Structure 1
Amino acid sequence: MLLVTNKSKLYLLMFFLLSWLCGNTVLAAGKKESVLGPGDPIKIFVYGHPDLTTETKVNDAGNITFPLIGEVLVDGLTPAAAERKLAKLLESRDLIRNPQVNILTSSLQSQMVSVLGNVRNQGRYPIEGKRSLTDILTMAGGILPEGEEVVTLIRLDGDKWTKQTVDVLDMVKSNDMAGNILVRSDDLIYVERAPRFYIYGEVQRAGSYRLERNMTVTQGLSVGGGLNPKGTERGLKIQRRDANGNLETLDAKPNDLIQPDDVIYVRESLF
């Protein structure tokens, strides 16, 4: 019969504990750490000093309040970097020698991006590590068929809001991903409705249609099913608003480019 001594039990316990710690370290190494920001709940432990255990939230200024130290700026730091900063402060003030500080976080509430407009799932999405514009659009289910391929990104730089547009279609077609911006916390991504044009008169299917890039009048008519037996391409007209918003009627040629909100009118043939 095998007898297990107290000493053997201790060794076994230490072995399993080390195995568990190593396994979690490997998993964590493959995962990019997010940074702390306002609103994030954290729990702080100092080994051997249970009286310093603190549950707190990062305030709007990016600070936390910690016993013996006071306010500490942690905004933009990873949890690991915040641990090192607290340990350094405790040691530099001769409060604790060789302090071992651990910070536990649940979900980092501050690291969120908003996606609105013509995407499959509007909402707020978390940033885990580095995320690009296309990553977030994918998380939102992609752009809807009626959505524009030019996406607007709005962000706060210092005290000023900036606006940037990204032509997702052109970026993909040219295989140049330099414009695939890395998103930041509190960015707003907006996908507008694609531009439309209208056809009425003697066509098979009058109505409103998505305007594709560099679409000609002939291509637009084909989208509407072409002319009906009464229609003629002679005397095609386009109603279009000028820069001042005034409606004007123009003669249209088959190879003219359609502009957003144009109305194409097909006349009835006299013969």
Structure 2
Amino acid sequence: MRIPRLWGAVLLICLTCAGCDTTSNLGPLSPEELDALNKSVEASPTLQAGEKIRITVFGEDRLSGEYEIDPAGYVSLPLAGNVKASGLSKPQLEQALAKKFRSEYLRDPKVTVDVASFRPFFIFGEVARPGKYPFESGLNAITATTLAGGSTYRASRTKILIQHSGEAGFHEYSLAPNVPVLPGDLIKVPERFF
């Protein structure tokens, strides 16, 4: 079957444009989904690529220090080499490091892991100062907007769009203090309809 040239060109344009929309809206979250998101924020967070962690090996100053988790999710430590950190909680990484040090070099290592700095979040759209901002614990949709200089006069007063790390598009949230912001989030403050 032969497709006429005009329809072939239209099909090519549609397929090309379908992959271009990086701000697709996945729609609003249900109350159950918002509740699950808030519970996941309260749970022990997992470490992610781009975060800087502080590792302390008691009695071993040469092994202690701040290390960044690389884009592949690994942290490179002296004597231990590359250790998978992304996707693990702090206690899980502590156990993995203690096991690695114990099997190679130390008798009974005591290891603690703390997050020195989280991945930044990004905010754009109808805000006074769009850009990259450092993540702080307890951030929500309203405080993130405030950090970016507040909304412009054209901004929606009732909704905000957020894409959490690993999501394919933006979800719509009500602009409220119960909407958490997570490390690495993309936040879009949409224009309101007059």
User: Shorter chain as normaliser: what TM range?
Assistant: 0.5 to 0.7
AA at the equivalent of 2:124:
L
AA at the equivalent of 2:163:
I
AA at the equivalent of 1:139:
L
What is the aligned length? 151
The Cα of 1:187 is off from its aligned counterpart by 1.6
Match of 2:148 in 1: 140
**Cα distance between partner residues in 2 of 1:34 and 1:72:** 18
Decide whether aligned partners of structure 1 residues 155 and 86 sit closer, same or farther in structure 2, where only a CA change above 3 A counts. Answer: same
Q: How does 1:1-271 map to 2 (within 5 A)?
A: 36-42=47-53, 44-53=55-64, 56-77=67-88, 82-91=93-102, 93=103, 95-101=105-111, 106-108=116-118, 110=119, 112-149=120-157, 150-157=159-166, 160-168=167-175, 180-195=178-193, 211=194
Decide whether aligned partners of structure 1 residues 114 and 51 sit closer, same or farther in structure 2, where only a CA change above 3 A counts. Answer: closer
**Cα distance between partner residues in 1 of 2:47 and 2:165:** 18
Bigger mean CA offset, 47-56 vs 184-193: 47-56
The Cα of 1:105 is off from its aligned counterpart by 6.2
**Cα distance between partner residues in 1 of 2:116 and 2:52:** 7
The Cα of 1:39 is off from its aligned counterpart by 3.1
Note the residue ranges of structure 2 that are not aligned, 5 or more in a row.
Answer: 1-43
Q: What are the superposed Cα offsets for residues 175-196 of structure 1, whole Å, 9 maximum, x if unpaired?
A: xx7xx4322222211122222x
**Cα distance between partner residues in 2 of 1:78 and 1:156:** 16
AA at the equivalent of 1:96:
L
Does the aligned pair in 2 maintain the 1:34–1:129 contact within 8 Å? no
Please, what TM-score do these two structures have when normalized by structure 1?
Answer: 0.45
User: Matched residues, percent identical?
Assistant: 27
| Superposed CA RMSD | 3.3
Match of 1:23 in 2: none
**Cα distance between partner residues in 2 of 1:90 and 1:64:** 14
The Cα of 1:114 is off from its aligned counterpart by 0.9
AA at the equivalent of 1:128:
E
Decide whether aligned partners of structure 1 residues 120 and 163 sit closer, same or farther in structure 2, where only a CA change above 3 A counts. Answer: same
| 3-state SS in 2 of match to 1:193 | coil
Q: Report runs of 4+ in structure 1 exceeding 6 Å deviation.
A: none
Decide whether aligned partners of structure 1 residues 133 and 65 sit closer, same or farther in structure 2, where only a CA change above 3 A counts. Answer: same
Larger of the two Rg values belongs to structure: 1
The Cα of 1:102 is off from its aligned counterpart by 5.0
Decide whether aligned partners of structure 1 residues 156 and 80 sit closer, same or farther in structure 2, where only a CA change above 3 A counts. Answer: closer
The Cα of 1:42 is off from its aligned counterpart by 4.7
**Cα distance between partner residues in 1 of 2:172 and 2:113:** 38
**Cα distance between partner residues in 1 of 2:136 and 2:150:** 19
Decide whether aligned partners of structure 1 residues 153 and 40 sit closer, same or farther in structure 2, where only a CA change above 3 A counts. Answer: closer
AA at the equivalent of 1:186:
G
